[in-house]
Amino acid sequence: MSDANFHQLLHPSHWKPAIGYANGVLASGQTIFVGGQVGWNADQVFESDDFVMQVNQALQNIVAILKEANAGPEHIVRLTWYVTDKREYLARLREVGGAYREVLGKHFPAMTMIQVAGLVEDQAKVEIEVTAVIPAV
């Protein structure tokens, strides 16, 4: 497999198309598990209370961690989003999508979004965890 196609999206042919995510991903190689990232900077300081800005920063944090393993957004096979307000997420979905594409590009792995009562960091509005797979050589 080429580096651009090292994993296969799993989608039953008779299902409605998934837009902005995959229903499943088949991958093999070295697995990277990224713990939940919130929207603070490298000094663990929130620069904004804005939901979309926190999403953008959390995604940038994920990319920085992946880089430590010589990986990038294209290696992500699963994202789990924890949000404190699903209504804000849905109301700002277009902006969230813009931030997502700005940081991760047009790569849409399997995703889950869960609304939670709160996150460990009180100022956090979103926390995102990732599984990525670097292809076997």
The alpha-helical segments, DSSP class H, found in the chain are 51-67, 86-91, 93-104
pLDDT band at 70 (very low <50, low <70, confident <90, very high): very high
SS3 state at 91? helix
The pLDDT value given to residue 7: 86
What is the C-alpha separation between 70 and 133, in angstroms, rounded? 11
User: 101 is written with which tokens?
Assistant: 């594409």
Residue (of 37, 44, 8, 49) closest to 135 by Cα position: 8
66 has a pLDDT exceeding 70:
yes
What is the C-alpha separation between 34 and 113, in angstroms, rounded? 16
**Whole-number average pLDDT of the chain:** 94
- pTM to 2 decimal places: 0.91
Mean pLDDT within 90-117: 97
What is the C-alpha separation between 86 and 113, in angstroms, rounded? 9
